Structure formats: structure tokens, C-alpha cells
Structure 1
Amino acid sequence: MPEPFVAYLRVYEPLSAFESPMRERLAAAVERGAVDPFDAGNREQDVWLRTQITAPPRLLPGDAAEEDPGDVLVLDPQDVPTAPAAMVGPAPLVCPLDLRGRSAAALVGFLGAAEVPLRSAVLSVPADKAKVRANAVVSELAGSAVHVLSSTWTVPLPWFVLVDPAERTELTDGERRRVCWRTPMADARRRVARAHAIGKQSIGEEGPTRILRETGRWLERFHPHSAVELDYGGLVQLMSDSDLEADTSAEDVHAIVDAMESDDAEEVGERYEALRDFWAEFAARERNN
């Protein structure tokens, strides 16, 4: 089974930043063994599928205690490029997969957007009951935030604002590969704040500017010495070597922000057209599926 065609924006916090009992629970998960980043998408898919093949099916991962494995990803601070003013750590940096909370939030969105026949075909319980249960789980997150945002089939272009285009990393594990960027939280917050201010001045508060505002608020909920990772995840399965060589998405997004600041509409248009052309193939795959 192919890895899900999902890209991720993750936050890795110092383990010491978590309060008890969560800190002890995460420490135990680290001791058991962190999830291999190459397997993260398949792991999430596997956990969710297991909730659906039980009798009766579970609505969300973790509805039964034994189905909540508390999986985490671990990152070494040395693998995060830093400038002198941007501290990351101490180790270990951990990113809980937060599957229960993320699944509940996704379910709330699905219930609000899907047509009645689709809801009826997918859900194992009545839609109103599913909504109540999902909202209850989401409300449990009021004092915290999920550490992972995900996007199917494509990468939201505002995400590229957070990272340094020059620090793209391609990692391999046999025939598998990952494409990701890592950056200190302080740098990510600074970049998103600047881009939001420029976007608000140039195009108003909607569209990409709204995404930047929401992303900035999300980042503020984590420890200032955390690390942020943008990972193409399973999308690399859709990309050929020539696609990856031609991919200048991060450079183009940063150039658009600079051009908006200098009122260079021609540069904005050219860069946006390049982005649209590159990601059009992946958007078409989403429509076909």
C-alpha cells in the first residue's frame, strides 16, 4: 500500500517543556522507540484503519485505551540549522502525532462539508452523535495544540514562508526518500509575522494572509525553543527526479513576499504563475481521485 499522499507541518518541542503527566507519557513513548519519520504516514493510516475494522468500528483512534499508542517523532537539535540568536532544545525534541485530536478536528470539518449521502456511507454512527463526540474531543485541546498540521495532495503555499529555502534537505532510506525543511521556532515566527504584515498591507486579510495569521497563532502555542519541520511526506511518491530538481516553491514564495513588499506586481505574477504550473499536476490528481 502506498504511503498516504499527505504533506506535514510539524512542531518538535523539548520534552522538558511538557507538564506532568504528559511529560512522563511522552518519555515512555521515546523509551519504547520513536516512530521512523519515513513510516509516519503509514503509521497514522494503520492506526486509523484499525479503528474501522474492530467490531463495532471505533469513531476515532483512542476511543479505547488500548488503541492510543501515544506515538512520537523525535528530532535531534543538531539536525536543525540555527543562527546564534535562535536556540533550539534541549534534547530530545519530540513531536506527538496527536492522532486522536487531529482525527476529531478532521471529522468536524468533514461533517460540515460533506453531503448527506457521503456522511451516511462513511460514518458508523449517526452524524449528530459523531459531531457531538468529535466536538468533545476537540474541546479537550482547548489548553493545548496539535503538533502536526497535514495537507492532502499538495502543500499550502503559505507554509513555505516559515522555512529557509536554502535549507531544503533530501533524505533517503533505501528506495524511500523524504524532502523536508527544518527551522528554529524563533525564525519561523519571525518570518510568518513579516509575511502576514506584508500580505495584510498588499492583499488584505483573506486568502493566504488569513492562513499566515492562523499559522502564526498556532506557532505561538509552543515552546520558543522548539523546531518546525515542513515535510513533503507521501507527496514525494508523486514526484519524479526532474520534478524535485525543478521545484523552487520555497524560493518562489519568499520572492513573492519580497516583491509584495516592494510593490513589484510583475514579479509577483511571474512567481505565482511558476507555482501554479508546478503544482497543477498534483491538483489534477486530487480532482481525479
Structure 2
Amino acid sequence: MARPPQHSLYRTFPFVSYLRVYEPLDAFDDAAQLAIMEQRARGRHETEILERTDAVRRLVRVVSDPFPHNATDLVRVLHFPAEEGITNRLYCPNQLAVRASLAAESLGESIRGPLVDVLVPEVAREAHAARLDPDSFADSLAKLHTRSATWGVPFGWFVLLHEDDHTEVVEDDGRVQTVRLSAPVPQAIERARAASAALALAAPELDLLDELAALTEWLEVFDPEAVVELDYGPVADLVFPDDSPSDVRLGIESLAEGDMGGAAAAYRRLASRWIPIRQLARAS
């Protein structure tokens, strides 16, 4: 079977970006390690194809039911540069069943009325809940490896990554399909704490402070050898090369130094880049 072109896989709507944490093999239990070993040789591009193909298959079912049905959970593999020219192989389980449950819950909170039952019928939600193992669900919920955002990248995510971190640019036929930045989790936590300390003194009213607190708490549950990855997704084609990590950092530094002009300039650059993208969510 011919492999679909990359642009058909990445140019999806709405734009979705991901923040993922990859851990070493020994951070997982025995059952998870066995599943990882079965998939560790598969390339990243093939994993993305499998995920999108499965998503389409679930969406076009005759009976409306977007939930996974006992399918093998995918695992992404990250080859992260280490010392002496070697790379470490790290893993991020997709945890699709748990994330689908959370997405359905979030949808129910944001959309009221009969539309929810059309998109996610109650019978499908009940069947999905019955398929879940309570213990496994609780463990995955306590250590969820993936966060997602639609129509743009949350500014707090840019605090964790810098523009000179390990970067992978995926291109095809003149388009940037996605950009991925990655950094060690301890370094990301240190950056978040430093930014939080600066904001707590200079601008404690900013929502960014609460966002950074939540991100820090989330990252602290992972292995010290873990790596966090920002995957822009298809929105990368509209913003790359992207100065958002440096603009967020400069904005926070300017606030800490009492330079309101510098902070305002950094925010204007961010707004000019991301507000038009977020407005696409309301476009007809």
C-alpha cells in the first residue's frame, strides 16, 4: 500500500500542538517495557501515520464513537543527543484511552445541549468506561505523558524550551510539517521555576504564573533522565522560524527589570504572531 504524502497527514484542522515527556525504558513497569520493546524500532514518521490513520478510522465509523476499542497503544521514540556523540533512546506512550476520556470530559464542559450527545454519544462513553481498567487508568492519569493545545502553543510551554535547544524540522514539498524542540526535564523545570520567581515579584496577577506552576508540578513526576518535547504540529508552517521562546523569555526578563516598554514590545510580537492563528478557531 502506498504511503500517504506527509502534507495530508500534518495539514489537519484544528491545528493541534503537543507537549510530550519521554522517559528511559527503566522508568516503565514490566508490561509497559514489553510493549515498548515491540515498537522501539519503528520510525517517528510511521508512528504519526498510524495515529492519524486510526483517528480517521474512528471518526468515520457508521455509529458515532470516537473512542479507541482495545487497540495497542502507540509509543513514540525520541533519539536525544547525549555526551560523546551518542544518543539516548527515550519513550512516550500515547495513552490514547485516558486522553480520549479527558477530551470527552472537557468537551462536555465546553459544549452544552444535544450537540455533545451527537459528537460523543452517552452509550459510547459508557462502553469506553467499561473497557478501561481502573488501576491502569489511575496510573496513567497520575503520570500523563502528553498535553495538547489547539489553535496555537500556550505561552507557558515556551518557557520550558529555548530556541537553541535540540530542534527537528520536518519538511515536505516546501512546507514545514512540524517543528519539535526538546530539552531535559530538569532543565525545563529550572527554567519554569526561574520564570515563576520573576513573575511572582513583578506581575503576580498574570495567568502565566498559574500555568507555570501547573507545568512544574506535572514535570516533577517524571524520571530525572526524561526529556520534554514541544511538537508544534501543522501550525509550524505559519510561524517557523519562530522567535516565541525568546520573546516570552525577554518579556519575563523585562517585567523583572521593570522595563514595561520591553515587556510590551515582546507581547506585541507574540500577539502579532499568534492572535491571527487563534482567530481561525472562530472563522467560518
Q: What interval of TM-score do these two structures reach, taking the shorter chain for normalisation?
A: 0.7 to 0.9
1:46 corresponds to 2:32: no
> Does the Cα contact within 8 Å between 1:154 and 1:283 map onto a contact in 2?
yes
Aligned to 2:17: 7
Aligned to 1:207: 207
User: How many residues are paired up?
Assistant: 270
Describe the SS at the equivalent of 1:101. Answer: helix
Aligned to 1:145: 143
Q: Structure 2: which amino acid aligns with 1:252?
A: D
Aligned to 2:92: 95
Q: 1:132 to 1:28 in 2, by over 3 A?
A: closer
Aligned to 2:264: 269
More off after superposition, 131-140 vs 167-176: 131-140
* Cα offset, 1:136, TM superposition: 8.2
Match of 1:122 among 111, 119, 123: 119
Aligned to 1:181: 181
Aligned to 1:76: 79
1:260 corresponds to 2:255: yes
- What percent identity do the matched residue pairs reach? 26
Q: 1:179 to 1:142 in 2, by over 3 A?
A: closer
> Does the Cα contact within 8 Å between 1:119 and 1:127 map onto a contact in 2?
no
Describe the SS at the equivalent of 1:166. Answer: coil
1:229 corresponds to 2:267: no
CA offsets, 1:186-212, max 9 Å, x none?
Answer: 110100111122222333266111111
Structure 1 unmatched runs, 5+: none
1:278 corresponds to 2:276: no
Q: Structure 1: which amino acid aligns with 2:246?
A: E
Q: 1:166 to 1:91 in 2, by over 3 A?
A: closer
* Cα distance in structure 2, aligned partners of 1:143 and 1:102: 9
1:8-47 map, 5 Å: 8-31=18-41, 33-36=42-45, 40=48, 43-47=50-54
Structure 2 unmatched runs, 5+: 1-7
Q: 1:225 to 1:214 in 2, by over 3 A?
A: same
More off after superposition, 173-182 vs 259-268: 173-182
* Cα offset, 1:158, TM superposition: 0.9
* Cα offset, 1:145, TM superposition: 1.6
Q: Structure 1: which amino acid aligns with 2:150?
A: T
Aligned to 1:158: 156
* Cα offset, 1:139, TM superposition: 5.2
Match of 1:60 among 62, 67, 71: 67
More off after superposition, 189-198 vs 135-144: 135-144
Aligned to 1:250: 245
